[in-house]
Amino acid sequence: MNIPNNVKELILKRKEKFVNDKNLQLIGKPGYSSPDEHILPDALTSLVLHKNVLLKGPTGAGKTKLAESLSAEVGQPMHSINCSVDLDAEALLGFKTLVEKEGNTTIQFVEGPVIQAMKNGHLLYIDEINMAKPETLPILNGVLDYRRTITNPFTGEVIKAAEGFTVIAAINEGYVGTVPLNEALKNRFIVIDVPYIQGSILEGVLKSQSSLSDGDLIKSFVQLSEDLVTQVRNGQIPEEAASVRALIDTCDLAVFMPPMRAIQRGIIDKVEDEREKAAIRNIAETIFG
Ligand X SMILES: Nc1ncnc2c1ncn2[C@@H]1O[C@H](COP(=O)(O)OP(=O)(O)O)[C@@H](O)[C@H]1O
Q: Which of 82, 50, 54 is nearest to 66 (CA)?
A: 54
* Partner whose footprint covers residue 248, from ligand X, Mg ion, none (CB < 5 to 8 Å by kind): ligand X
- Establish if 45 lies at the interface with Mg ion (CB under 5 A): no
DSSP single-letter state for residue 49 = T
- Establish if 64 lies at the interface with Mg ion (CB under 5 A): yes
Interface stretch with ligand X, choices 11-19, 52-60, 81-89, 106-114 (CB under 6 A): 52-60
- Establish if 136 lies at the interface with Mg ion (CB under 5 A): no
DSSP helix/strand/coil, 196:
coil
257 CB contacts (<8 Å, ≥6 apart)?
A: none
Whose Cβ is closer to ligand X: residue 113's or residue 164's? 113
Element (H, E) at 127: strand 123-127
- Which of 51, 119, 186, 245: binder of ligand X (CB under 6 A)? 245
**Could you tell me the smallest distance in angstroms from the CB atom of residue 95 to Mg ion?**
25
Interface stretch with ligand X, choices 30-38, 96-104, 219-227, 228-236 (CB under 6 A): 30-38
Interface stretch with ligand X, choices 16-24, 88-96, 222-230, 244-252 (CB under 6 A): 244-252
232 CB contacts (<8 Å, ≥6 apart)?
A: 238, 239, 241, 242
Q: Angle at CA 25, nearest 5°, toward 127 and 205?
A: 60
**Could you tell me the smallest distance in angstroms from the CB atom of residue 214 to Mg ion?**
28
Per-residue x/- marks for ligand X, 58-77, CB under 6 A? Answer: -xxxxxxx------------
- Which of 18, 26, 27, 32: binder of ligand X (CB under 6 A)? 32
| Helix pair angle (199-209, 215-233), 10° resolution | 130
Tell me the DSSP string of 130-193. GGS-TTTGGGGHHHHSTT-EEE-TTT--EEEPPTT-EEEEEE-TTSTT--PPPHHHHTTEEEEE
Q: Largest alpha-carbon pair distance within the chain?
A: 73
Tell me the DSSP string of 77-111. -EEEEETTS---HHHHHEEEEEEEETTEEEEEEEE
* Partner whose footprint covers residue 205, from ligand X, Mg ion, none (CB < 5 to 8 Å by kind): ligand X
- Which of 124, 197, 237, 267: binder of ligand X (CB under 6 A)? 197
- Establish if 244 lies at the interface with ligand X (CB under 6 A): yes
Whose Cβ is closer to ligand X: residue 137's or residue 205's? 205
* Partner whose footprint covers residue 280, from Mg ion, ligand X, none (CB < 5 to 8 Å by kind): none
Rg of the chain over CA atoms, in angstroms?
Answer: 21
- Establish if 78 lies at the interface with ligand X (CB under 6 A): no
Interface stretch with Mg ion, choices 63-71, 110-118, 181-189, 255-263 (CB under 5 A): 63-71
- Residues of the shown chain interacting with ligand X in the complex, contacts defined by CB under 6 A: 31-33, 57, 59-65, 170, 197, 205, 209, 244-245, 248
